[in-house]
Amino acid sequence: MDPMWLESVLMVGKKRYGVILNGIHFTWTELDKHNRDKKTVSVPVSEVIGVEEGRVEIQPQKKVEESEKHFTVFSVKRGRCRSGSAGLWTVGRTQFYCSSRDLRDRWVTQLRTALKAHSGSRPHRLLVFINPFGGKKRGVQIYHSLVSPLLELAGISAHVVVTERANQARDHILKKELTGFDGVVCVGGDGMFSELLHGVIGRTQQEAGLSEHDPTVTLQTCDLHIGIIPAGSTDCVCFATVGVNDPVTSTLHIIIGDSQPLDVCSVHHCSTLVRYSVSLVGYGFYGDVLAESERHRWMGPLRYDYSGCMVYLNNRSYSGTVQFLPADPQVSSPRDNTRCLSGCRVCSESTERLFPQSDASSHASSYSPSLYSQNSSQSEGDWVSIEGRFRCVSLTCMSSSCPRSPLGLSPAAHLADGTGDLILVRDTHTLGFLKYLHRHTNTQDQFDLPFVEVHRVRAVRFSLPPGEEDSEGEEDGGRGLEGGENMAEQECGNSDGVMHKSISQQHLAERGEKRGMGDHKKDKKNFLCGPCCSRAPLVSVWNCDGEILPYTEILCRVHGQLVRLFARGIEDRAGTRTCRAGNRKCKGRCVLHT
Ligand SMILES: Nc1ncnc2c1ncn2[C@@H]1O[C@H](COP(=O)(O)OP(=O)(O)OP(=O)(O)O)[C@@H](O)[C@H]1O
């Protein structure tokens, strides 16, 4: 018999249960034959959060009632959020009563031993950054009331830093000693996640002696896991990797040590890394909406709706040349109607992560450096080139689903297959574009429109028509704006201002100043003059995960599975299945966690 095996009859409330621990599952089944709604609950040991002696509650406050014959088991429980979507996890709590203290002690010991055996991937020590000003400014409260008690219950220690400035978390990860930490966690929104992302990737490359600026280099995958406790105004990365924006659900994924690899797109300009992105790199509509919303920050979250309307009414399109390196169409396609769900086969079989880990000088074997040069001609390699006027050009490394767009920008995109989806929306009439935007909010195929095309890609280049090329890079010697927006300045020791929202504002202000100087060329690049402006701008801006990029001509490369999150992707609804086998009359009360 399994040495972990333990079986007894215990009481839960006033009912008798047959309780079994078989090493992998902890199961309790009601024994009362008169009760027709007989219940069986089975929890994988890997989803047990903690076992406590006595009658214990942790929410709303920790309460321990000493009792020598009771023990309490806390475990992951699947729930449904108000919208009905799966993915919400809550804390299940069951108090068991044993006939003797000896039996109680045996159960507690045995459960804790089983837990240890199944917790190899669980973190022991975390570095937590809380943005006290993110979203509704509830980060600190969310952490102390919802997150910290669960970490404590699970025996995870946390070093907490409440940030005092933008980029503090990124700088901390880049420069401070991190020995002993199994992961970094942010309590905030997508901006905070981006800080952690840049810190973790930057540190890993520094330690490996790799240049982040060289788009041909195969970056070192990052060992330090990233956790996201959603507390921002937009929490898209959390939503797209967990399925819900809920602090308790995210905490539980961290506690049980879930691990979700994630593709990351590096954005370069003239051999300089500008930023990393995991969700959207968008030009045209999405860039204009961000630029416009930066001017109306005083409106709060409402600014996005307002700006979306204004930009839509402005009805703009932009010329440019988009070049891309297609991914292997045999493996997957953005129109194959699949969803990247937990345990996704396409991601786990992806060969993109099978590149040899590089030393300082190595390049991905299948990529020649010229393939990623910003100025190479269209005949090189497998690059496909498309010229035209576009409403928007979007590259996304994930579906980019969010509560408003439950299927996202590209519903069949994968989290970790080493590719991104490039969506080109050509110039069209206003109603056509409205139709496209509306399809983001429902289940209609947003690519089934004559002016929309989508490609699964490994890299993208964007250039302006001759005569409209980027001038900032030349003026700044390819280093970007004075505020240090790009990673080159970060390397030069100016660590401030790389990712703060004020960058976007500063960038807007600088562009504004340049316009005011009467330089005709800059005047043409007046990318957004507001609804009152009669002259349509020739150039838009790039929105890179909610930040405005200081360059228009960029090169993007997707790096397969570069980072790992404490998440498991979106669970199929079948992940929680109603038991029919055990008892035909269970009326859905028998939940088997598979
Ligand atoms: N103490 C701080 N003071 C000012 N800015 C901060 C501080 N801590 C973090 N930041 C910056 O604030 C920006 C926004 O934070 P965060 O992402 O947490 O919230 P949000 O903007 O409300 O949400 P979202 O980014 O999802 O829209 C981040 O880019 C981060 O760099």
pLDDT digits (tens, 9 = 90+) for 500-524: 343 444 444 444 443 333 333 333 3
Q: Are 411 and 324 in contact (CB under 8 A)?
A: no
Dihedral, CA of residue 177, residue 179, residue 181 and residue 183, to nearest 10: 70
Rounded to the nearest angstrom, the distance between the alpha carbon of 481 and the centre of ligand 1 is: 21
Q: What is the pLDDT of residue 413?
A: 96
List of residues 6+ apart from 163 with CB closer than 8 A: 129, 130, 131, 132, 169
Does the structure show a pLDDT above 60 at 337?
A: yes
Give the confidence band of 381 by pLDDT, cuts at 50, 70, 90.
Answer: low
Rounded to the nearest angstrom, the distance between the alpha carbon of 378 and the centre of ligand 1 is: 40
Give the mutation target among 192, 194, 294, 402 for probing the ligand 1 site: most ligand atoms within 8 A of CB.
192
pLDDT in tens, 565-590: 999 999 876 443 333 323 323 332 22
C-alpha R_g of the chain: 26
Give the confidence band of 475 by pLDDT, cuts at 50, 70, 90.
Answer: very low
The arrangement of strands across the sheet holding 48-53 comes to 48-53, 70-79, 88-97, 6-12, 15-21, 25-30, 40-44, 591-593, 576-578
Would you kindly state where each structural domain of the chain is located, as residue ranges? Answer: 6-119+575-593, 121-257, 264-352+379-482+527-559
Give the ipTM.
0.96
Give the confidence band of 295 by pLDDT, cuts at 50, 70, 90.
Answer: confident
Q: In ligand 1, which atom is closest to the CA atom of 132?
A: 1
Q: Which class is domain 6-119+575-593?
A: mainly beta
pLDDT in tens, 13-72: 999 999 999 979 999 998 876 666 678 899 999 999 999 999 998 877 788 888 899 999
Residue type for position 524: K
pLDDT in tens, 549-565: 999 999 999 999 999 99
Query: Quick check: helix, strand or coil at residue 437?
Result: helix
Query: Quick check: helix, strand or coil at residue 391?
Result: strand
Measured from the CB, is residue 163 less than 6 Å from ligand 1?
Answer: yes
Measured from the CB, is residue 191 less than 6 Å from ligand 1?
Answer: yes
Q: How far apart are the first and last CA of the chain?
A: 23
Q: What is the pLDDT of residue 37?
A: 67
Give the mutation target among 128, 133, 499 for probing the ligand 1 site: most ligand atoms within 8 A of CB.
133
Query: Residue 16: which of 99, 101, 100, 111 has the closest Cα?
Result: 99
Structure tokens at 217: 């280099």
Query: Residue 214: which of 270, 264, 170 has the closest Cα?
Result: 270
Rounded to the nearest angstrom, the distance between the alpha carbon of 376 and the centre of ligand 1 is: 37
- Catalytic, 190? Answer yes
Rounded to the nearest angstrom, the distance between the alpha carbon of 211 and the centre of ligand 1 is: 27
Cα(302)–Cα(296) distance, integer angstroms: 9
- Give mean pLDDT, residues 240-266: 96
- Give mean pLDDT, residues 280-287: 96
Strands 183-188 and 125-130: parallel
Does the structure show a pLDDT above 90 at 234?
A: no
Measured from the CB, is residue 165 less than 6 Å from ligand 1?
Answer: yes
Measured from the CB, is residue 501 less than 6 Å from ligand 1?
Answer: yes
Question: CA separation (Å) from 349 to 193, 278, 331, 438, 558?
Answer: 27, 20, 9, 34, 17
Range of lowest pLDDT (62-71, 356-365, 370-379): 356-365
Q: What is the pLDDT of residue 594?
A: 23
Give the confidence band of 323 by pLDDT, cuts at 50, 70, 90.
Answer: very high
Give the confidence band of 409 by pLDDT, cuts at 50, 70, 90.
Answer: very high
Q: Which residue in this structure is represented by tokens 């402005």? A: 314
**In the chain, % of residues over pLDDT 90:** 61
Give the active site residue among 171, 182, 190, 235.
190
- Give mean pLDDT, residues 125-138: 94
Cα(586)–Cα(594) distance, integer angstroms: 17
Q: Which class is domain 264-352+379-482+527-559?
A: mainly beta
CA atoms within 13 A on the CB side of 157: 4
Q: What is the pLDDT of residue 132?
A: 97
Q: What is the pLDDT of residue 64?
A: 86
Query: Residue 383: which of 423, 323, 297 has the closest Cα?
Result: 323
Cα(343)–Cα(348) distance, integer angstroms: 7
Cα(214)–Cα(372) distance, integer angstroms: 9
Domain over 121-257 is classified CATH 3.40.50.10330:
yes
Measured from the CB, is residue 230 less than 6 Å from ligand 1?
Answer: no
Which contacts qualify for 403-410: CB closer than 8 Å, 24 or more apart? 403/83, 403/239, 403/245, 404/440, 404/441, 405/440, 405/441, 406/83, 406/85, 407/440, 407/443, 408/240, 408/440, 409/280, 409/440, 410/334, 410/454
Cα(382)–Cα(484) distance, integer angstroms: 34
Q: What is the pLDDT of residue 84?
A: 53
Q: In ligand 1, which atom is closest to the CA atom of 162?
A: 1
Which contacts qualify for 586-593: CB closer than 8 Å, 24 or more apart? 586/37, 586/38, 586/39, 586/40, 587/37, 589/37, 589/39, 590/39, 590/40, 590/41, 591/41, 591/78, 592/40, 592/42, 593/42, 593/43, 593/44, 593/47, 593/76, 593/78
pTM of the predicted protein model? 0.83
Cα(369)–Cα(384) distance, integer angstroms: 17
Range of lowest pLDDT (112-121, 414-423, 540-549): 112-121
Measured by CA distance, the residue closest to atom 6 of ligand 1 is 166
Q: What is the pLDDT of residue 492?
A: 34
Q: What is the pLDDT of residue 80?
A: 64
Q: Are 58 and 37 in contact (CB under 8 A)?
A: no
Rounded to the nearest angstrom, the distance between the alpha carbon of 192 and the centre of ligand 1 is: 5
Strands 225-230 and 183-188: parallel
Q: What is the H or E stretch that residue 584 is in?
A: none
Q: In ligand 1, which atom is closest to the CA atom of 135?
A: 22
Measured from the CB, is residue 136 less than 6 Å from ligand 1?
Answer: no
Q: Are 151 and 126 in contact (CB under 8 A)?
A: yes
Rounded to the nearest angstrom, the distance between the alpha carbon of 158 and the centre of ligand 1 is: 21
Measured from the CB, is residue 294 less than 6 Å from ligand 1?
Answer: no
Give the confidence band of 479 by pLDDT, cuts at 50, 70, 90.
Answer: very low
